[in-house]
Structure 1
Amino acid sequence: MAGEVWYVFVMSGQNAQKTAPADQKVTPMMAQYIEIKTANPDSLLFYRMGDFYELFFEDAEIASQSLGITLTKRGKHQGDDIPMCGVPVHAADDYLQKLIAKGHRVSVCEQTEDPAEAKKRGSKSVVRRDVVRLVTPGTLTEERLLDAGTNNYLMALTRLKGGSLSGDAVFGLAWIDMSTGSFQLSETDQQRLAADLAQVSPRELILADSLLQESDLRLVAEQSGGSLSPVPRAFFDSSTASDRLAHYFGVKTLDGFGTFSRAELSAAAGILSYIERTQLGERPPLDPPMREAGAGRMLIDPATRANLELARTLSGERQGSLLATIDRTVTGGGSRLLASRLAGPLVNVDAIHHRHDSVAFFLTNEIKREGLRQTLKGAPDMARALSRIALNRGGPRDILSVAQGLAAARAVLDQTRNGDIPAEIAAARASLEQAPHELGTQLVAAIKEEPPLLKRDGGFVATGYNSDLDELRSLRDESRKVIAKLQAEYSEELGLRSLKIKHNNVLGWFIEAPTAQTEKLTADPARFIHRQTMAGAMRFTTTELADLESKIASAGERALAIELEIFDQLGQAIIETGDAIKAAAHGLSILDVSAALAKLAQEENYSRPVIDDSRAFEIKGGRHPVVELALRKTGGESFVANDANLGPDASEEIGHIWLITGPNMAGKSTFLRQNALIAVLAQMGSFVPALEAHIGVVDRLFSRVGAADDLARGRSTFMVEMVETAAILNQAGDRSLVILDEIGRGTATFDGLSIAWATIEHLHEVNKSRALFATHYHELTALSAKLDRLSNATVSVKEWNGDVIFLHEIVPGAADRSYGIQVAKLAGLPAMVVERSKQVLGQLEEQDRRSPAESLIDELPLFANITTKPPGGAADPAKPNPVSEALTELAPDDMTPREALEALYQLKTLQAGGDG
């Protein structure tokens, strides 16, 4: 920029070298940069210089490596070269997206005055600049930086010690999506915290820096998957939280929003403080805070979400997940709502029924459904467009999005007007009726069908909307026609066909005529003002031509000024009706999800489940939705449906456990997962992949499937397995559904068998959960004779000429072998290894026949009779240990060597008697 000095040029012929000033003083520009950077130390500084955002020093080195752009140098600072790199302003969003994806935060520093104004203060004055926004993963609103089908949640976590009635600590959660304005609060405890964080899946998690010092809490925070942003504890001051929220929303009291706990208010205050800090004066259009009761959702912990691949596969991809499989939505808002419902299935029976009613309505009204979906395809993302407009980040296309969204809302009203409709659809229609349709009509008339991305470019207001603008555009765009018309008038008036009106950069517009024919022009010097004499020609101007030139020169600027004024007026009108627009957008999303789930049910032959408050869990013809679709796409074998019945019998009150045995590759894990997914789908409001399904509400879903280590925290595969199993046994209740696969396989055979055995007994006697337990420990099948609610099931196979054929059918009974060697053969193990394995297996089976597992049933006491020893492994004080008593009576210092030896033999005798 003019007047902004970075370094001194020392000229020598054609060469120029950069040198530091002799006195090593900081240049004005560098002083400004350092001052701004010092105020924003925890982020990369995008420093605006003309058409580029420049980065310097360490920021440049980091950005260069992260973005794969060239690192250069610009001048010197205190004798050292200044590393520099830059990105074009027009492409900044693409670079921001890469930096944010890699966990960086970016401060955007803009020029806050015109360079001409800076020049007035002196030729070397620096243009004023300041940070206008702090870009973080949870505060994104730009369309190009967001996934249309995923909420971009910013979440705050706080803790109040002694906040519950029992005196235990409680946690407050607040999360917003700045791109849509949703704002929710919740209270939770230590046990539910990880599951609640996993349900929201925040992009960025704010918490007090002191909490990050606690290893347990830091671990839970890191498991949320979001970028961690520590802030001062003062952000969460609960004593002033109510006043801070009331001030933000411009109300005197929060009573109109509902009743919130101290922990919830503390979290809400923290998240608002963070928004004010990062948005620097801009206020996103947030909804009033809404309390979400954690007990109203099915509890699904992070391990279970990962194991079941609800929204992402184990490799982190959306494709192949349950969400990708069932998503038939046609709008961004609908896709986000579907993901939100899948993340937090309901436990309220009536609410679930309302959602099923909506799906059933669109399933039976196919013509109406397809017409609605066709209309929704043309409905842009109104909620996100509104947020960008309110934050002064919007463009003409955002206004057009609101216009088209309101037009779609009006069309949907007409399409759903006739006939009886379910309650959920009626509520969605009510929100559409309250939309500002007159404003929508105005917006459609105001904005061109294909406007430019940025308002600064102009050209977005439709022709005919503003007459003054049309006139200026005509003058700007048809200036040559206007000049040609004036030339014709002068030529006819003066009788000079050779007269021309021309333009150059020195004189601007001028009249030119041959010198021999200028008599009439020179005769009227007051009108035709002489400008220049050329060889053979003379040049003149007139007041009329000068005025026209001025109008032409300023027409573009004046036209842009009018367009920007119109943009501001339309934007303000949108903001003033923002609540109604957001409600309409949510109504369209509800209809999109209901219609999409109906489409899914029709295409994939899903049925409506029966949901009630019982302990039932009866599935007939159940299928795995993801595996079934994958098999169809590959043109392979068709999916084999299976039944499952974990509900109580007529004389019982609690559900059953199925112990499933059978070979690898036969489908045990698929069967386990499909039943868990059916429960999730049913309670999120979808129909399910089964012929019939009767499910008593599942309040907590637990899954321990697959093998994975966590070496970063020093956890082996087996340790991870045991941690997850412990969480299940400590939390599951009689309304829970538990899915366990191969418990104990990560350690020695007897250790693993023992753990699996005790786990089944605990599930049966203590947790009383409905459960599916798959295992290769065939010894466990003997438990069915001891535990009345445990049933054996197996995956049927057939052997043919030494090979195994998997039938994928779950049938009553127990497998007596795992066919592991046959599977190894199919995998391509060398023939010598397969044959040697058969020899070893034969010896092991012969040894096992001499010590049958059934003997364990007779010899082990019932699980209910097990008495846990006091901590430290001390013996039960009610039953004195004779060895211990004898030891207490000994006085070694008074004993001869012979007496000590005799005492030792007596102790051995007592020990032998106790063991017997």
Structure 2
Amino acid sequence: MAKRGMMDQYMDIKQEYPDCVLFFRMGDFYEQFHEDAVVASEVLGLTLTSRDKKADEPIPMAGFPWHALEDNLRQMLKSGHKVCVAEQEDNLREGAKLLERVVTRVYTPGSLYEESLIGTDEVAGLAAISTKGEGIGIAILDASTGHVWTMEHHGDERWSRLLDDLLRSNPKELVFTPRDAEKEEFRSVISQLDGVTLSQHTSSRRKGRDSLKNILDVADLGHIDLDDSPLAMDAAGLAADYLAAMHIVDSIDFREIEVIRPEGNMILDQTTLRNLELTKTLSGEKEGSLIGAIDNCRTSMGRRTLKDWLLRPLASREIIEQRHDSVATIARSSKRLDELRDSLRGLRDMERLATQLSYNRSGGRDLVAIGLALERMPRLKAICTEVDDYLLNKLAEELDILEVMKIDIQANLNDEQPLSLRDGGLIREGVDETLDELRKAAAIGHKWFKDLELKERSRLEIPSLKVRHNRQIGWYIEVTKTHLSKVPEDWNRRQQMTNGNRYVTEELVEWEEKLVTAATKANSMEYNMFRDLRDRCRKNAIILGKISSQVAQIDVLQCFAEVARKRSWTRPVISDSNKLIAKGLRHPVLELQTGFVPNNIRLDKKRRFLLITGPNMGGKSTHLRCAALLSVLAQAGSFVPAESAEVGLVDRIFTRVGASDDIRRGRSTFMMEMMEVAHILKRATEKSLLLLDEIGRGTSTFDGLSIAWSVTEDICNRLNSRTLFATHYHQLIGLEGEAKGLVNMHVQVAESDGELKFLHTVADGPCDDSYGVQVAALAGLPRHVVERSSDLLGFLEKQAKGAKAGERGAPTARNAGQSSLLGFIGQPQVRIEIDAVGKALRDALSKIEPDAMTPREAHDTLYALLRILGDDK
């Protein structure tokens, strides 16, 4: 039988984990070989070298020291790779000549529970999907908190809803079967995900459910409310089986599986989430987003819960009003609010502490943090109990104090804990008599070495003499070169150095043995006592997780109350009507800036469609977003930035805002816009809220106007959705009185001596001018271009006034018996002298196909045109 070498061990482990980068422990280093070495050198910036350099095919090799493991893990996972860590055993097995390596942990981007690898407020979720027929089941697991969410979608909308769920939950890893990987719709979904590690895994329904039972530590799954969602159960099983197959965890103490049903929440699709900037701005920053403006949470779990509430606003009037009641109760008393905030201040992340405990990976500092958190619970419970409030009372009732566990921790552990569990300093003095005696013996030994240093310095007249210790040679006496002649003959040299020597004596060795024996026994005893304590605490890990959930909800409620008090937000009236009414409505982010102008909004049975006209920069888009954020905040349970408000429950918010394209899939700005509009017209209901900021801009004027006109009619006459439509097509204002529920509104401006002042107020009635030329002047267009634009505008308006309604085949409103809309503008006949530069511009412009251009191409073309202008620009 051939002798097995180190590379055989490496290849055995690599064969078991082929899709992982293997960190293979060799002494004080973690090494990578073959393709893993190439990957590690690229991602981690390691030097790529080789093993067996003289061989015909040297093996690529890279490595890093053991203490850099966490940093390199974080970097490798961030780049989307999975990592398998193989440690070497401490002792040789009987008859073996080579230390064995064993896999201690597999890390994947979606299965992390260490806060140091995830980030305080982040979630490293693992998503899994299962499909059958026209249904999709989704499960999302957060190993750092023990949460599991499941959803199930059916019908034509299932793939878009899957994408919405994935973008909202933002998992770091997606598990799916090879069968689903072949589906074109699924490939379309994953092409729109960024930063998600894709993992294929083969399983069966039976195997998945067995894995789910094992991971939940239950005999059957009857207690899970998924009888009517078999595909969601399959997805959860696929995720559990994947974790088991990867040997990531033996058991996870998941507290519960939360079933999210579409009818229970307002639906916010990917476009709406992006446009409303709920959790991050369009540039990806938290600052400037809604959550960045209102996050006054005191805890990490509170911040995660706040994000969840904003991304999944409620659709139940009863539960919304319970949250509003609690916010009102807390905000009513500044003393109560301050007490709540003080009780929550400085709490460590209890959710993740509970998860670490369930994995048996808690350190001394973790248990001390749990003890300190539990110390706060009686006061927190009392504050929530002493008020007459259903939700706060309910949360307090479920807030288990775990007094015995707290006393156990605080009676046994020192307040200040070491980083390592093996080096002592864990257990309080007085807990165990034997441990105290061992510590005294170790302390006597330490004092002897200190006294030895002072004694020998004096006796030998060597002031620089030192008595020190290191892990390699133990205790020693160090003498510099200049004093080597004074070293006694009975000292034994242990180590020769450039600037001196290190020595030991018989007496020093004897005392070292006494000290090491006492310290080793004490440290071992402390470690065992700590493990026993941790095992006792671990029995309460699930309860601790539930406590953290209650604390997180209380934290969000006090956050809402704090914002309401500080910023004069008001409690909205929640109704089952189709109203959306607010007086003095403000934008929750922009109001933090000085000079924000509040506005009123009214959507009801007679005013279902607000057609808003006026100049750019006048505040149309802001007004649209204010209406949407009003609904999101109210249905999340928060008060709202207004003097008064009534919010009829909204089932979905749709947005068609701004310009975007999809270069990867060859879709122009206009195509993307039309796809968004099509999605809205197919999915919106009478309970939906629609925000339309321009329609039809990416095509010719007549095409765009026709589309905007037709869409307006369809929403008014068929959907009856609450709608705000900002447009520059002034021809549409004639629909008031013809399209059901349509009301004209405009953003007001003041004009003086040809200069504009934006008032940012929204009022009833149409705008009398779009002020496009004036805005162009404000934007810095050359003066001669602005003057020429003004001349042409006057000519065109004169031509338009001379055109008769109905001329050139202008369509009429679809409603029989109603008058026709305003006539279309006729084509002006203008003669313009063109010089050489103008001809060059004309030739360049004639070659442009705007509908087929990407933003980058349009940007480059614009600069090419400016170069043609030269000095004339």
* Common topology (TM > 0.5): yes
2:252 pairs with 1:252: no
Give the letter aligned to residue 368 of structure 2.
L
Q: Which amino acid aligns with 1:756?
A: A
Deviation, 1:476, is 2.3
| Counterpart residue type for residue 160 of structure 1 | K
Q: Which amino acid aligns with 1:117?
A: L
Query: Do the aligned partners of residues 378 and 464 (structure 1) sit closer, same or farther apart at CA in structure 2, a change above 3 Å counting?
Result: farther
Give the percent of matched residue pairs that are identical in Structure 1 and Structure 2: 38
CA distance in 2, matches of 1:184, 1:406: 27
1:568 pairs, out of 526, 531, 544, with: 531
Counterpart check, 1:476 vs 2:442? yes
**1:206 and 2:188 correspond:** no
Cα distance in 1 for partners of 2:438, 2:805 equals 95
> Which deviations, in whole Å up to 9, do the C-alpha atoms of 1:680-736 show, x marking residues without a partner?
000000001111110110001101111111101111111111111111111000000
What is the distance in 2 between the residues matched to 1:549 and 1:44? 43
Alignment partner, residue 610 of structure 1: 573
CA distance in 2, matches of 1:793, 1:689: 22
Contact 1:174 1:186 in 2 (8 A): yes
* Shift in alpha-carbon separation, 1:329–1:443, aligned structure 2, 3 A: same
Q: 1:664 to 1:269 in 2, by over 3 A?
A: same
The superposition leaves residues 10-43 of structure 1 with CA deviations (integer Å, 9 ceiling, x where unpaired) of: xxxxxxxxxxxxxxx9982222222222322212
Query: Given the alignment, which residue of 653, 662, 676 partners 1:710?
Result: 662
Name the CA distance, whole Å, in 1 between partners of 2:626 and 2:395.
Answer: 32
Q: In the superposition, relative to structure 1, how do residues 548 and 366 fare at CA in structure 2: closer, same or farther (>3 Å)?
A: same
1:846 is matched with: 798
1:879 aligns with none
Following superposition, the deviation at residue 107 of structure 1 comes to 1.5
Q: Could you say which residue in structure 1 is the equivalent of 2:788?
A: 836
- Kept after mapping to 1: 8 A contact 2:215/2:253: no
Q: Which residue of 1 aligns with 2:116?
A: 144
Cα 1:506/1:160, change in 2 over 3 Å: closer
Cα offset, 1:781, TM superposition: 0.8
Greater shift, 446-455 or 769-778, is seen at 446-455
Q: CA deviation at 1:173?
A: 1.3
The alpha-carbon distance between structure 1 residues 240 and 277, as it changes in their structure 2 partners (threshold 3 A), is closer
- Write out aligned runs for 1:602-681 (5 A): 602-629=565-592, 631-632=593-594, 638-649=595-606, 656-681=608-633
How far apart in 2 are the matches of 1:826 and 1:850?
30
Residues 733/484 of structure 1: CA separation in 2 closer, same or farther (3 Å cut): closer
Cα offset for 1:466?
A: 3.2
- Please give the alpha-carbon distance, in whole angstroms, between the structure 2 residues aligned to 1:322 and 1:248: 37
1:823 maps to 2:775: yes
SS at match of 2:205: coil
Give the 3-state SS of the residue equivalent to 1:46 in structure 2. strand
Is 1:302 the counterpart of 2:270? The answer is yes
Partner of 2:92: 117
* Whole-angstrom CA distance in 1 between matches of 2:699 and 2:451: 95
CA distance in 1, matches of 2:12, 2:85: 14
Q: CA deviation at 1:760?
A: 0.7
Give the CA deviation at 1:767.
1.5
Q: Which amino acid aligns with 2:430?
A: G
Q: 1:396-442, CA deviations, whole angstroms, 9 ceiling, x for partnerless residues? A: 2222221122112233124444342x22211221122x232211122
- What are the Cα deviations for residues 82-111 of structure 1, in whole angstroms up to 9, with x where unaligned? 433333333322222222222222112222
| Alpha-carbon distance between aligned partners in 1 of 2:450 and 2:84, rounded to the nearest angstrom | 51
Single out whichever of 606-615 and 206-215 deviates more from structure 2.
206-215
Mapping of residues 111-510 of structure 1, within 5 Å:
111=88, 113-114=89-90, 116-117=91-92, 121=95, 125-161=97-133, 169-189=134-154, 190-191=156-157, 192-225=161-194, 227-234=196-203, 237-239=204-206, 241-260=208-227, 261-420=229-388, 422-432=389-399, 434-481=400-447
CA distance in 2, matches of 1:856, 1:426: 70
Measured after TM superposition, the shift of residue 739 of structure 1 is 0.4
| 1:272-313 deviation per Cα after TM superposition (whole angstroms, max 9, x unaligned) | 112212344532211232322121010110011001111111
| 1:321 CA drift (Å) | 0.9
Q: Which amino acid aligns with 1:334?
A: G
How far off its partner does 1:229 sit?
Answer: 2.5
Distance in 1 (alpha carbons) for counterparts of 2:796 and 2:474: 105
Residue matched to 1:882: none
In the alignment, which residue of structure 2 is the partner of 1:725? 677
Letter in 1 for 2:39: I
Residue 284 of structure 2 aligns to a residue whose secondary structure is coil
Deviation at 1:230, TM superposition (A): 3.2
Output the amino acid matched with 2:794: G
| Counterpart-to-counterpart distance in 1, 2:804 and 2:521 | 96
Q: What's the counterpart of residue 35 of structure 1? A: 12
Deviation at 1:187, TM superposition (A): 1.4
Deviations 1:493-531 (A, max 9, x none): xxxxxxxxx999999999xxxxxxxxxxxxxxxxxxxx9
Task: Give secondary structure in 2 for the equivalent of 1:139.
Answer: coil
Structure 2 residue corresponding to 1:595, chosen from 540, 558, 579: 558
Instruction: State whether residues 378 and 408 of structure 1, in contact with CA within 8 Å, keep that contact through their aligned partners in structure 2.
Output: no
Change in 2 beyond 3 A, CA 1:242/1:816? same
3-state SS of the aligned residue for 2:53? strand
Counting only pairs closer than 5 Å after superposition, residues 87-102 of structure 1 correspond to structure 2 as 87-102=64-79
1:147 is matched by which residue type in structure 2?
Answer: G
Residue 232 of structure 1 deviates from its aligned partner by: 3.1
Q: Mind listing any 5+ residue stretches in structure 2 that lack a counterpart? A: 454-466, 478-488, 493-503, 818-873
Structure 2 CA distance, aligned partners of 1:821 and 1:753? Answer: 20
Residues 546/815 of structure 1: CA separation in 2 closer, same or farther (3 Å cut): closer
- Letter of the 1:257 counterpart: I
Change (3 A) 1:484 1:459: closer
The aligned length equals 775
- The one-letter amino acid of 2:303's match is S
Tell me by how many angstroms 1:453 deviates. Answer: 3.1
Please give the per-residue CA displacement for 1:796-819, whole angstroms capped at 9, x wherever unaligned.
Answer: 001111111100000111123322
Decide which of 514, 528, 550 is 1:551's aligned counterpart: 514
Code of the residue aligned with 2:536 in structure 1: it is A
Match of 2:495 in 1: none
Tell me, yes or no, if the aligned pair for 1:221 and 1:228 is still in contact at 8 Å: no
> Whole-Å Cα distance in 2 between the matches of residues 80 and 613 of structure 1?
74
1:480 shift after superposition: 4.2
Residues 633-661 of structure 1 show CA distances to partners (whole Å, capped at 9, x for unaligned) of: xxxxx110111111114xxxxx6000000
Contact 2:698 2:704 in 1 (8 A): yes
Q: CA RMSD in A?
A: 3.0
Q: Deviation per CA, 1:246-273, whole angstroms, max 9, x where unpaired? A: 3443433322333432112111110111
**Distance 1:861-1:643 versus aligned 2 partners, 3 A rule:** closer
User: Distance between the aligned counterparts of 1:282 and 1:781, measured in 2?
Assistant: 66
Structure 2 vs 1, CA of residues 833 and 584 (structure 1 numbering), >3 Å: closer, same or farther? same
Taking the aligned partners of 2:69 and 2:147, their CA distance within structure 1 comes to 27
Structure-2 separation of matches of 1:503 and 1:687: 64
User: How many Å separate the matches in 1 of 2:648 and 2:491?
Assistant: 99
TM-score relative to the length of structure 1: 0.80
The separation in 2 between residues aligned to 1:754 and 1:292, in whole angstroms, is 40
The answer for the alignment partner of 1:893 in structure 2 is none
> Structure 1: where are the runs of 5+ without partners?
1-24, 162-168, 488-501, 511-530, 633-637, 650-654, 866-916
CA distance in structure 2 between the partners assigned to 1:855 and 1:151 by the alignment: 61
- For the Cα contact (< 8 Å) 2:374–2:401, is it kept in 1? yes
Which residue identity does 2:535 align to in structure 1? Q
CA contact (8 A) 2:445 2:512 kept: no
Q: How far 1:174 sits from its partner (Å)?
A: 1.2
Relative to structure 1, is the Cα distance of residues 797 and 462 closer, same or farther in structure 2, using a 3 angstrom cutoff? same
The structure with the larger Rg is 1
Measure how far apart 1:599 and its partner are: 0.4
**Distance in structure 1 (CA, Å) of the matches to 2:404 and 2:303:** 28
What does residue 722 of structure 2 align with? 770
